[in-house]
Amino acid sequence: MPRFLQIRRLFWRLAAMLLLCPAPAGAATGYYALDHAAIAVKDPAHTPLIAIARAGGALVAAGLHGTIVVSTDNGQSWTQAKVPVDLTLTDLYFTSPRDGWAVGHYGTILHSTDGGRSWRVAVSGLEVIQAVGATAASAASAAPAPGVPWVASAAIDQRVASAYTQDGPSKPFLAVGMCGGALLAAGQQDMAMRRQGQGNWAEWTSKINNPDFQNIYDIVPDGASTLLVGENGLLLRGDSSCRNFTPLSGPYTATLFGAVQAGGQWVVFGLQGEVYRSADEGASWAPVTLGTDAAILAGVALPSGRVLLAAGNGNLYLSAPDLSTYALLPQHVPAVADLALAADGGAVAVGALGVSLIPATSLR
């Protein structure tokens, strides 16, 4: 046999052996994004980022491919954290300067105990599927309470569990925050998990009054209440137990991306430049005109009681003290996705082009 044919045959034999080799020992789930660590980035300050939060005096931001970056100098410089997954991260929340949570795609919840410098997987979408299935099984076996449409509820739980099983760990969490003294993670099609104290995360989709399974985009605590906002104008107010959620008669039927609590008022914002404020915990809403039809994607309450909003076109808007009007700031922030306050009184925006600093002098 000619030598080149022998070499070709050997090549294909080796290729076949490689294809038939089992997955590496570290591949515990069979999903690449869950089994591989975040990619290393060359320039942490200019990598695509989606979310940012304060961790004491530090700032922590997260984005694509499991990227989490940390700054201890008000956003001037950034270092990459150790993250065990390679997936899009969508939101961050810190309960203390060291204790933080990140959520994202594949139903993933990450936990940090060192101020965001390293992370571990607390929940994956595979565990969410198991939790939803357990809820459905429990509902099917429980005795119906008087006056409760148990059959309908159990049937819905089983249908949801079946859909989750068929889809696999495909749904993302989109928001994480405090709700009635507990942590709540929520996202696509009402998917939700709750953690009370130091306990385990528990399935919470069945507890949220969201019958159309709208996406939940933000979780904003306000004393004993919590505001959830989302798709198609979704507005829900959770009570102090985070077990009962009251639908609010919202002012807007298009998607709301976020909310801010400031000066005893709630401010909600979303598509087409729409902004509304409520001084009575959502019983009534007043429109606020920004003069733009660009989506408002992020907002943050300032120490002064004012609110800073960011639009998808890069415009920044600073509210009056009573939150009734907003002024367009001269600074333009490209591709903004989220905002956070820095310890020096300025603000930091993150987005597709990375980090942008907004000096404190611009926010007075």
pLDDT value at position 206? 85
Which domains can be identified in the chain, with CATH numbers? 33-363 (2.130.10.10)
Residue in 194, 217, 178 with CA at minimum distance from that of residue 50: 217
At 116 the three-state DSSP class reads coil
- β partners of residue 235: 229
Which residues make Cβ contacts (< 8 Å) with residue 335, sequence separation at least 6? 314, 351, 352, 353
Q: In degrees rounded to 5, what are phi and psi of residue 270?
A: -170, -140
Residue 27 CA to residue 36 CA, distance in Å, equals 8
pLDDT value at position 317? 98
pLDDT value at position 151? 40
Per-residue pLDDT of the chain (364 residues; tens, 9 = 90+): 444 333 334 333 333 332 233 333 344 889 999 999 999 999 999 999 999 999 999 999 999 999 999 999 999 999 999 999 999 999 999 999 999 999 999 999 999 999 999 999 999 999 999 888 887 777 665 555 555 443 446 666 777 777 778 888 889 999 999 998 899 999 999 999 999 988 899 999 888 989 899 999 999 998 888 999 999 999 999 999 999 999 998 888 999 999 999 989 999 999 999 999 999 989 999 999 999 999 999 999 999 999 999 999 999 999 999 999 999 999 999 889 999 999 999 999 999 999 999 999 999 8
| Tokens coding 320 | 């009056």
DSSP secondary structure string, 47-71?
S-EEEEEEETTEEEEEEGGG-EEEE
> DSSP state, 43?
-
Q: Is 268 exposed, middle or buried (0-12, 13-18, 19+ CB in 10 A)?
A: buried
| Tokens coding 62 | 């997260």
* Helix ranges (DSSP H) in the chain: 3-20, 32-35, 125-141, 150-167
Amino acid at 58: A
pLDDT value at position 196? 92
pLDDT value at position 139? 65
Angle between helix 150-167 and helix 125-141 axes, rounded to 10 deg: 150
Residue 59 CA to residue 342 CA, distance in Å, equals 7
pLDDT value at position 156? 66
* Helix ranges (DSSP H) in 37-176: 125-141, 150-167
Within a 10 A sphere around the Cβ of 4, how many other Cβ atoms? 8
pLDDT value at position 278? 95
Residue 155 CA to residue 164 CA, distance in Å, equals 14
